[in-house]
């Protein structure tokens, strides 16, 4: 699978929708994770919006378009997106951990701001501030494994003069 050019895509001056698949079984998965983490750094996840359907975990989020900043912080904005992981073995194989508690399939209003993403054996961790993190276990021996992020909404500039793409 051909992958995008990080230096070209991440330091640009015009918004382009992101649609990215992580190559988990290939030798470049470490590079791919850094690439994905660069887009999702500071993204916000509303935990009550997470869905689990037919072994797919769907995580809607809102991310800041850091790829547009370069030396000009007036050009950045935000866009809605979706991180999906398949196959997640069962609904019991993803969980949210908060300081002092463990919650499975939360039914409360709480958000995580992503600071870091880790890929461990059969597990993806989205780590926020205050030791809050979302742990997702997937079936790593599946040839169908897919970890994908894509922008699903319109670009909304943070400055008033910006024009959506």
For residue 81, the model assigns a pLDDT of: 96
Q: With 0-12 CB in 10 A as exposed, 13-18 as middle and 19+ as buried, what is 39?
A: buried
Q: Are 36 and 23 in contact (CB under 8 A)?
A: no
What's the token pair of residue 60? 């809607």
- What pLDDT was estimated at residue 154? 92
Predicted local distance difference test score (pLDDT) of residue 58: 92
Residue 162's pLDDT is what? 46
Supply the pTM of this predicted model: 0.79
Q: Write out residues in the chain with pLDDT < 50, as ranges.
A: 102, 105-106, 108, 162, 164-165
All structural domains of the chain with their residue ranges = 20-153
Output the six-digit token pair for 74: 């007036």
Per-residue pLDDT at 71? 60
State the pLDDT at residue 2. 62
Q: Can you give the pLDDT at residue 131?
A: 67
CA 146 to chain centre: 13
- Under a CB-based contact definition with an 8 Å cutoff, are residues 82 and 140 in contact? no
């Amino acid at each position: 699978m051909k992958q995008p050019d990080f230096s070209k895509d991440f330091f640009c001056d015009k918004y382009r929708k992101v649609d990215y698949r992580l190559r988990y079984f290939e030798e470049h998965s470490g590079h791919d994770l850094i690439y994905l983490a660069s887009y999702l750094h500071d993204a916000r996840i509303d935990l009550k919006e997470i869905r689990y359907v037919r072994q797919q975990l769907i995580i809607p989020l809102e991310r800041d378009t850091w790829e547009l900043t370069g030396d000009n912080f007036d050009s950045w904005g935000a866009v809605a997106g979706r991180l999906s992981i398949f196959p997640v073995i069962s609904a019991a194989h993803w969980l949210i951990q908060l300081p002092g508690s463990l919650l499975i399939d939360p039914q409360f209003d709480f958000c995580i701001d992503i600071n870091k993403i880790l890929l461990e054996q059969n597990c993806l961790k989205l780590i926020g501030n205050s030791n809050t993190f979302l742990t997702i276990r997937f079936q790593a021996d599946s040839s169908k494994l897919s970890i994908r992020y894509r922008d699903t909404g319109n670009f909304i500039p943070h400055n008033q003069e910006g024009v959506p793409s």
